[in-house]
Every structure is written in structure tokens, then in C-alpha cells.
DNA sequence: GTTTTTGCAAAGTATTTGCAAATGG
DNA sequence: CCATTTGCAAATACTTTGCAAAAAC
């Protein structure tokens, strides 16, 4: 948890609210427009701390750069393979299904599930129209 | 797909069969014991080609080094947070649940799902006994 | 004033790649 | 022989870190 409120941290929070699941360098580029002195290390450092404290979410998509999410709500990420846009999915039914998957896995492996990492990929309706 | 069968590729396949979801450097270290001339680049290159051709599976666990799996069967990976062992989960029920998740996501986001990336983390029964 | 945070640059991981030499068929 | 694969080293991509200076309270 941070002790002091730096201008940089506020700018990062602001960027997280405005940008859609941004990477560290997207946030960096965005802030640089109005505050060219910001350093990429500071962005990474703050994002790391915020993710650690649970203030934000770190999303790791395969071997691409990590993305960050101010929405810490329980939800699933869906990426369009064409345009790269990230969609959020949530809902009671989804939650129930995941609990059932947990149970099925616990039964077959004996592992008591505590965390899940998942994201889905496909083609969004917008991109489907254009083909 | 590879055109020729090199000794190195055979050694990599052999290591994949003997080791449990190994990383590239685990395979490299293993082969080096009997063939010290092997180079890490060659291991990475072959694993990449084999994964590309569908001969093996590349598993990306968060920001850890990728692991590789000769089992190309449809299954889910479960990692014990304590000992790091990787378990495989599969079954008809699991498959059905995942189809239902796909449907739920397609309905709420409009994205037509083509791929899923997921792994689960928890404590295996062995580690639970010891605490 | 003292502690935290910054900017910068250097280091750290994991992985890929260019190229001349070696190898396979 | 000739195309493919190797070993090596350098390059790349993303992220973390050490440290002196600046900022916060």
C-alpha cells in the first residue's frame, strides 16, 4: 500500500479509467502527452504496487505485455483475435459454471482450487460483419 | 513441419516424454547430461516448431517460462501453488461445462469464441496432508 | 527533516534470430 | 550435393531494480 499520493500515481489511475485494459506502455505514452517527464519505470512500479494491493487487476494474456484493469470485479476477459479489443463477461450463470468446473477438477485431481486464470479468444460481432 | 529427423529433435521428444510439463531450459539441462553440445537455441527452436505444427502443446502460465506438453489431448492444467506440480484434468463433464461457458460469453459479449486459455491453481492433496 | 517516490539507466528473464558450419537424405 | 538444422552469440521484448535527487507530509 502506498503511503503518499504522488501526482504520477494519480495520473496513472486517471489513465486506467480512461483507457481500455491498457498495457504499461500505453499508459506511459498517454501520460507523456501532458506530462513528458513521466518515466516508464515509475508506471511499471506503480502498476505493480497497485496490483499487489488489489487496487487494480493485472491481466496476463499469453506472451503479450500485461494489461491492467481498474475493474476488480469478478469477470472474464474476452479478446477479439482480429481487432484486439478486450470485452468483459460476467453474470450469475457464468459464476455458477465456474464453480462447477472447480468441483469437477477437484474431484478428478484432488487439488483444492483457489485461483483460476482464464481468457477467451474469438471474433467480435463488429469484425464478423466486415468479413 | 520438420523435413529431417535430427538427433537433437529426437532427444527433445524423448525429454518431453520423460519430464512432466517441462520448460525449455529444463529440457536443455536434461539433454545436456548426455549430450553436452546441445544448445538452448536449438531446444527453443524445435519446441516452437513442434508447437506450431500441433505436435506438442505450449502452455503459458502467467509470467513464468512456458512449459511444453506431449499430451495434445484436450485437457486442463492445474498447478499446485505449494509444490508446483502440474496436474491434468479432463472428462466429459468438464467439456460440457466449457461449452456452456462459451455460450454464456457469446450471448453477453457477442464474441464468437474460438480459443480458450485457462489454468487453475490450488493445493494438491499431498501438500494439504503435510500442513 | 525524514520517509517515500521519482527518473534514469542498467540489469534481469525468457525467447527469438542471423549466420556460417555441420548434418541428413 | 543441396536443403535443412545446428551452435553460438547477439538481438529483442517486457519488466524489474539500484541509486541519487526530488517531493510529500
pLDDT tens, residue by residue, B48-90:
999 999 999 999 999 999 999 999 999 999 999 999 999 999 9
**pTM (2 decimals)?**
0.93
Test A63 with B62 for CB contact under 8 angstroms.
no
For A39-63, letters b (16+ CB in 10 Å) and e give eeebbeebbeebbeeebbbbbbbee
pLDDT tens, position by position, A86-113 = 999 999 999 999 999 999 999 999 999 9
**Is B46 buried (19+), middle (13-18) or exposed (0-12) by CB count in 10 A?**
buried
CB contact under 8 A, A121 and B120: no
* Domains parsed from chain A with CATH numbers: 1-70 (1.10.10.10), 73-131 (3.30.1490.190)
Among B52, B64, B68, residue whose Cα is nearest residue B14: B68
Q: Looking at residues A22-35, what average pLDDT do you find?
A: 98
Q: What is the mean pLDDT of residues A23-28?
A: 98
Task: State pLDDT tens for residues A55-93.
Answer: 999 999 999 999 999 999 999 999 999 999 999 999 999
Q: Which of A64, A77, A20, A66 is nearest to A44 (CA)?
A: A66
Percent share of chain B, pLDDT over 90 = 95
A·B CB contacts under 8 A: 140
* C14 C1' closest Cα residue: B65
Q: Which residue of A has its CA nearest to B118?
A: A118
pLDDT over threshold 60, residue A129: yes
**Alpha-carbon distance A35 to A48, whole Å?**
21
A24 CB less than 7 Å from any atom of strand D = yes
List pLDDT tens digits, range B7-53. 999 999 999 999 999 999 999 999 999 999 999 999 999 999 999 99
Q: Is pLDDT of A1 > 60?
A: no
Amino acid at each position: 500500500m502506498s503511503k503518499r499520493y504522488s501526482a504520477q500515481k494519480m495520473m496513472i489511475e486517471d489513465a486506467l479509467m480512461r483507457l481500455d485494459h491498457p498495457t504499461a506502455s500505453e499508459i506511459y505514452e498517454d501520460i507523456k502527452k501532458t506530462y513528458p517527464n513521466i518515466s516508464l519505470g515509475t508506471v511499471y512500479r506503480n502498476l505493480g504496487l497497485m496490483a499487489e494491493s488489489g487496487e487494480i487487476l493485472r491481466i496476463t494474456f499469453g506472451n503479450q505485455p500485461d494489461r491492467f484493469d481498474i475493474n476488480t470485479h469478478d469477470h472474464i476477459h474476452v479478446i477479439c483475435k482480429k481487432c484486439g479489443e478486450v470485452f468483459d463477461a460476467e453474470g450469475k450463470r457464468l459464476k455458477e459454471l465456474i464453480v462447477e468446473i472447480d468441483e469437477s477438477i477437484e474431484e478428478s485431481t484432488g487439488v483444492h482450487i483457489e485461483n483460476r486464470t482464464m481468457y477467451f479468444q474469438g471474433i467480435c460481432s463488429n469484425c464478423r460483419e466486415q468479413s
